Amino acid sequence: MDIAIVTGSAGLIGAESVRLFASRGYHVVGIDNNMRKYFFGKDASTAWSRRNLESTVHDYQHFNIDIRDQTFVNQVFAEFNSDVRIIIHTAAQPSHDWAASQPQVDFSVNANGTLNLLEACREFCPDASFVYTSTNKVYGDNPNQLPLIELDTRWELDPSHPFAEHGIDESMSVDHTTHSLFGVSKLAADALVQEYGRYFGMKTACFRGGCLTGPGHSGTRLHGFLSYLVKCALTGDEYTIYGHQGKQVRDNIHSADLVEMFWHFHQNPRCGEVYNAGGSRHSHCSMAEAISLIEELTDRKINVSYSDQSRVGDHIWYVSDTRKFQSHYPKWDYAHDFRTTVKQIVESHTARDRTASDASQQAIATDASTSIESVLAQLERTGVASCDSVRS
């Protein structure tokens, strides 16, 4: 049997990977301990996504283990051994700001956790493909040195710059720059993944994501800006923009389009590759443009506040050039544009809210009927009335 091991399987990219590889005949084994709830609180829990996978994906097998624990990781790999064809490693502490609050936890999850998985792969299934979800934060704030011009709703790159037409390619330096501690732990993992490809000849690749997004995100204040913006639009919660006049530009790739990249890589894997993997010029927006689109699609005004203090290492303009990947895998292309992606996020939040409200009405109804039953029982016990007479 062909096995795919997905870490962070209940997260946005992990769950999308589980679905795609299961639909293409793989037995998928997921590793996720819902550490996202520990990082960001119960609103960001991915327990709902795990339940969803277990009830809808045939034969999906979940392991509630921590990637920092080499013993448990090895036990999972030993069970499936050389049947493992691909590892998709998405588990991570994903936020800049959180990393600064607990640097050791951030580093141990992002860097040591990745090393544990590479070692397990080398020991039990060295021929498997190893896909790592890296980040454009490995470039630190070097992109902020590009010549930018301010337009009405966004920052834009000077049209004469070589990156202006297609975005930033993999030649951007990772040195002499402020990464944030998160950027550093991800860069350490990125370098390890490259090295296991170059030094040991393993089929490893780093996909340096721009903003990864989609309807499966459990967006929260510190991570998942589009999903969180939609949440704020629907709940009325305040959304704070940090710096750059709200004109900072991000590219946004739908989780399904990214996972298709992994699939194409796995069909013809290479060793120690690095790919920029974002929405590119195909799908990008400024914060202000995203807010307008979400207000239009939800028909609600977002309660926006503004802080002059930008986030450490935050990019003012980042658009990925994905042409290196496309030149290696020319059959891959985007299936989702920006508007479609945001629309799907709005629909999924609306559906999740409906489910939550049905569940809470059900709970109220159950509570009410339970208390009526207990009053009736008490009346009967004290001989005041029989349940049947009170009911009627």
Binding site residues, ligand NAD, CB under 6 A: 8, 10-14, 31-36, 46, 66-68, 90-92, 94, 109, 113, 133, 135, 209, 211-212, 224
Rounded to a whole number of angstroms, the minimum distance from the CB of residue 210 to ligand NAD is 7
Measured from the CB atom, the residue of 90 and 142 that comes closer to ligand NAD is: 90
Which residue blocks in the chain are alpha helix, DSSP H?
Answer: 12-23, 35-40, 47-56, 70-80, 96-101, 103-107, 113-124, 181-198, 225-235, 255-267, 287-298, 323-328, 338-381, 387-391
Whole-number Å distance between alpha carbons of 389 and 383: 12
Residue with Cβ nearer ligand NAD (34 or 74) = 34
Q: Which is nearer to ligand NAD, 49 or 369 (CB)?
A: 49
What is the smallest separation between the CB atom of 233 and ligand NAD, expressed in angstroms? 19
Smallest gap from Cβ 174 to ligand NAD, in A, equals 15
- As measured in angstroms, the least distance from the Cβ of 34 to ligand NAD is 5
Distances, alpha carbon 303 to alpha carbons 224, 232, 241, 250, 291, in Å? 18, 7, 11, 21, 10
Other beta carbons within 10 angstroms of residue 259's beta carbon come to: 26
Smallest distance from the beta carbon of 289 to ligand NAD, in angstroms? 17
93 or 298: CB nearest ligand NAD: 93
Nearer to ligand NAD, 16 or 293 (CB): 16
Cα gap 249→246, rounded to integer Å: 9
- Residues 326 and 309: their CA atoms lie apart, in Å, by 37
Least separation in angstroms between CB 8 and ligand NAD: 3
- Residue closer to ligand NAD (CB basis): 33 or 180: 33
Task: Find the helix packing angle between 287-298 and 225-235, rounded to 10°.
Answer: 40
The two three-digit tokens of residue 382, written as one number: 């004290």
